[in-house]
A and B are shown apart, each in its own frame.
Chain A
């Protein structure tokens, strides 16, 4: 395990509970193989639901708003 610190951004529609936060921290620690993770929290009701994770410059968008936007662009391209 690398003794590095990783700062990630977590954006959600509602405030995360501490257990949810811990779960995210654990998942990222295992996935990225780092010793500690600092979480920057953003609460944005416009996301409707789900979470958006940003690690360095890679984004994992699992929010309802993001999925709707994807749906829209794909539908528009089929027309």
Chain B
């Protein structure tokens, strides 16, 4: 028995080996001149391509970035402490790509697409190129389907469409990541796959993010690309392209994808580090000259394809961290000009308890309004006006206390509308829920509610509407607009709710 298995083993090994190729072939090699700070300088390597993978031995790879006549600059992906001067490195002829399959949903991968969550190997269905030209003009179509973030302030005033690039910008700890994560949570029933790219973030916060997504069941449609602060600059530089390549795999299948780059400031810094080590000339803030192209070629790949090309879309939400609200720094201005609008978060608002701390006046969405649902447009139009008037008068109101009735009512309405925009980041609301809440606010049904009670009012009101008037929600979701009958029903519903809750809505006192 034992001899038998031994024989079987020998024959199978012989068969395996006889099928292998060990012929002597010419190989392009190079000799290491110097190695330090993750950058290898190599002579030789004739005909090497830009962006080609270089075999550094010991199963480590590098990326050829600088091609010069006598030497090649290579950045190391991972760890190559075994390298020394005089050692030989080889071309592989492969351009950087990542193996993707449907099984990548729910997984955490590194910048090279290798799993890091310990859930076993990832099957590969297709290799996607990291650097790929963005779709041309003809395969595209304009944005027409909304991407619901579940955040009232965004969906109503700064609507995002599928295929749009909307920047989330703000100082540290103003809730940028929270806006992005809230958006992922809201995609549970929207048939959108999500890719969250973490660049230069703390491992502890990424672990927390993964935990939240897992607890809320959002990992089933989400892939996380992780290049944390402890990853090498090369990995941080590649991570967004890896994420985009994964998103494009789903795009090719005609799916809608949401990709979040958290954050591109760190990405630019990683690229600056690489560029300086490669001795490329530096420009403003020591960033290299092509730092604009670095982000524009990435974000240009966000698109909405027409039906002939599958009809899929990639919506990109890049995040930029500013210093002391300075949006005129180099990287923020670059990315602002590349994207189709920005959500501007302010620390003053955040500290004043306005969460999400979105500055509605400075935030814009350049293309999303064409994708906004009619029902939302019907209520949001008035809200924008209310808030604009409110902001204008607010400055004056601080100086004098005796205001005329009209000004007072405008201020009062503005305060209430502003208060209704407050929302916990992890409690996304559906489009129809947002519509009925904003409807109540802009039609003045909230004017008598104390500002502090508004959150409570909203929660109880939504619960009441779900139990007593489910047909209003049904009508809004099917018609996508507020028809006349629904509007009457809605008014009646709010009145009856207000009457039955005197603790929240005090009955007007006779004067």
Contact = CB atoms under 8 A, between A and B. Distances in A.
A60 B27 CA distance: 6
Contacts of B28: 57-59
Interface in B7-52: 16-17, 20-22, 24-30, 43-46
Interface string A35-71: 0000000000000000000101111111000010011
B20 A57 contact: no
Contacts of A56: 44, 46
B27 A61 contact: yes
B24 A62 contact: yes
A67 B25 CA distance: 11
A27 B22 CA distance: 22
B88 interface: yes
A54 B46 CA distance: 13
Nearest to B29: A59
Contact-size category for A: 10 to 19
Contacts of A71: 17, 20, 22
Interface in B84-102: 88, 90
Contact of A58 (B20, B21, B29): B29
A57 B16 contact: no
Contact of A74 (B21, B29, B88): B21
A3 interface: no
Contact of B16 (A54, A59, A67, A78): A78
A20 to B, nearest CB: 17
Interface in B68-115: 88, 90
A57 B44 contact: yes
Contacts, number: 41
Interface string A9-25: 00000000000000000
A54 B29 contact: yes
Contacts of B43: 57
A70 B90 CA distance: 13
A61 B22 CA distance: 10
A75 B18 CA distance: 11
- Which of A56, A61, A67 counts the most chain B CB atoms within 10 A? A61
Q: Is the interface of A mostly helix, strand, loop or mixed?
A: mixed
A59 B17 contact: no
B46 A57 contact: yes
A58 B16 contact: no
A77 B356 CA distance: 50
Contacts of B30: 57
B164 to A, nearest CB: 42
Contacts of B27: 58-61
B297 to A, nearest CB: 31
A34 B45 CA distance: 22
Nearest to B13: A75
Nearest to B88: A59
A59 B88 CA distance: 10
A74 B19 CA distance: 10
B24 A57 contact: no
A74 B21 CA distance: 8
A60 B16 CA distance: 24
A62 B45 CA distance: 19
A67 B22 contact: yes
Nearest to A76: B59
B20 A61 contact: no
Nearest to A67: B22
A49 to B, nearest CB: 13
Given A75-B16, A78-B16, A60 B21 contact: no
A4 B27 CA distance: 23
Interface in B352-406: none
Contacts of B90: 59
Contacts of B29: 54, 57-59
Contacts of B46: 56-58
A67 B17 CA distance: 12
Contacts of A75: 16-17, 20
Contacts of B22: 67, 70-71
CB-CB nearest 8 A-B residue pairs: A57-B44, A62-B24, A59-B29, A67-B22, A57-B46, A74-B20, A59-B27, A58-B26
21 contacts: A54-B29, A56-B44, A56-B46, A57-B28, A57-B29, A57-B45, A58-B28, A58-B29, A58-B46, A59-B29, A60-B24, A60-B25, A60-B27, A61-B27, A62-B24, A67-B22, A70-B20, A71-B17, A71-B22, A75-B16, A75-B20
Given A61-B27, A71-B22, A75-B20, 14 more contacts: A54-B29, A56-B44, A57-B44, A58-B26, A58-B28, A59-B26, A59-B29, A59-B90, A60-B25, A62-B24, A67-B22, A70-B22, A75-B16, A78-B16
